[in-house]
Amino acid sequence: MHGSSTSTDSTLTTVSGVPASRLSNTFDSWQASANPGMEAAFARCVAVAKGESTKALLSGRPGTGKTHLAIAAMVEFGILRSLLWKVPDFLDWIKNQAYDKELEMARILRPYREDPFLLVLDDLGVEQRTEWAYQQLYRVLDSRADNKLPTIITSNQLPDKIDERIVSRYRSGLVVCAGKDVRSRFDV
């Protein structure tokens, strides 16, 4: 798995898939008053972080703080027991795996389907759903739902644009964020 501990290259340091610069995205550094429309998303991520729930599916406009809340949940849950993937990177990674695809993938994805770390899949979007890599992603999410493993998904698509099979399985965690784009306010 990628990033399950600290890794460094010449330009980037990430911990569990989170850029070091974003490890300060915690529940403590969250400013609720900046975006009251994100209250339900905040509560949902706290519930997953505390183990009171296993599912969050945050659908909301860009810049509303979805990734911040997902990272905050990871920090609270335990950053080394968590893993964040941006969905396009996850799909690229799957595509680049060994050519004996089915066999190799079963081995590589087993932890994603069975292990109780907190998985964040950030930026689920308008992927090509017939693609082989996308089917692997879907199977991961299906198994995690069956196995009640903690999972947070973010998307800036409305629920009716997200794969309905995923929405169906994660509906109990669905939050349609009413928040506004506050990114520029926190850009330094």
What are the residues binding ligand ATP (CB under 6 A)?
25, 29-31, 34-35, 60, 62-68, 123, 154, 156, 182-183, 186
Q: Which is nearer to Mg ion, 92 or 181 (CB)?
A: 181
Residue of minimal Cβ distance to Mg ion = 67
Nearer to ligand ATP, 10 or 33 (CB): 33
Whose CA is closest to 102, among 128, 140, 132, 147?
Answer: 132
Nearest to 35 by CA among 71, 2, 3, 60: 60
Nearer to Mg ion, 76 or 123 (CB): 123
- Determine if 25 is a binding residue for Mg ion (CB under 5 A): no
- In the complex with ligand ATP, the residue whose CB is nearer, 6 or 31, is 31
Task: Name which of Mg ion, ligand ATP, none residue 136 binds, using a CB cut-off of 5 to 8 Å depending on partner kind.
Answer: none
113 binds, among Mg ion, ligand ATP, none (CB under 5 to 8 A by kind): none
Hey, what's the torsion of the CAs at 147, 149, 154, 158, to 10 degrees?
30
Specify the residue, 136 or 154, whose C-beta has the smaller distance to ligand ATP: 154
Residue 12 near residue 39, CB atoms below 8 Å: no
Closest CA to 53 of 157, 187, 168, 173: 173
Quote the least distance from Cβ 60 to Mg ion, whole Å: 9
Question: Roughly what angle, to the nearest 10 degrees, separates helices 101-114 and 132-146?
Answer: 30
Q: Which amino acid is at 19?
A: P
Q: For residue 40, which amino acid is it?
A: A
Site string for Mg ion, 32-71 (x = CB under 5 A): -----------------------------------x----
Coil, helix or strand for 94?
helix
Would you tell me which residues interact with Mg ion (CB under 5 A)? 67
